[in-house]
Amino acid sequence: MQGFDGKPFDYYAAPGVFRLLLSSVSQGFSLRAQYGARSPTVAVQRSLELKSGSNTVLVSITGSAASGWGLAVTANGGPVAASLPGGVKVTVNTFQPPVKRRQEASFARLTASQRWNDVKNTPLDFLNFGLTLLAPLQQPVAGVLGPSYTAAVRRTQTGAGGGRRGCCGGAA
């Protein structure tokens, strides 16, 4: 994973449990990831959940190695609408390779992509994602990416450069 400071770091989470990546409680915003076990020592991102106000968008890897991997996206527990209350936009682009889904709140854009195995011509079993903040998050922020976000904001405020507002889990 890569933080808002541009520095990569390893992050391991137990399979099947959603982990908080970034949140601003005062804005009603959170981004969580759920991991799945690829092997006893490797966990990969299988789901991303973006909450903004009363809206929840969930992007998940579906299927199995035997049946083939797919990608599903829901908004507020049902089919995806192009625009949700509170300025949340969901764009679903189906093309291969790779498959991408984009969710956008008024201050954040999340792009999730299911990577593609060019050799086997099949989708892979994990998600990469990129998060771009279109406006600053209100403090305090929390989650795995919280410290790198806070550090990037401090650098920007002190004129120390940086100001990077994008991050995350691989090239989306």
Q: In this structure, is residue 154 part of a structural domain? A: no
> Is-contact 77 60, C-beta < 8 A?
no
Q: In this structure, is residue 2 part of a structural domain? A: no
Kindly tell me the burial class for residue 22, based on how many C-beta atoms sit within 10 Å of its own C-beta (0-12, 13-18, 19 or more). Answer: buried
Sign of CA dihedral 105, 133, 126, 118: positive
Q: In this structure, is residue 73 part of a structural domain? A: yes
pLDDT for position 164: 40
Query: Tens digit of pLDDT per residue, the chain (172 long)?
Result: 788 878 887 777 888 889 999 999 998 899 999 988 887 777 788 999 988 888 888 888 888 888 888 888 888 888 776 666 666 666 665 545 555 555 555 567 777 888 777 788 888 888 888 888 878 888 899 999 999 898 888 887 776 554 445 556 543 3
pLDDT for position 97: 54
> Is-contact 142 19, C-beta < 8 A?
no
Q: How far, in Å, CA of 97 to CA of 100, rounded?
A: 9
Tokens 């789901």 belong to which residue?
47
Q: How far is CA 100 from CA 71, 77, 122, 125, 143, in A?
A: 9, 19, 14, 14, 24
pTM comes to 0.79
> Is-contact 63 70, C-beta < 8 A?
yes
Q: In this structure, is residue 147 part of a structural domain? A: no
If one counts every other C-beta atom within 10 angstroms of the C-beta of residue 17, the result is 10
Domain total in the chain: 1
pLDDT for position 144: 93
pLDDT for position 146: 92
pLDDT for position 103: 54
Q: In this structure, is residue 64 part of a structural domain? A: yes
Write the single-letter amino acid at 122.
T
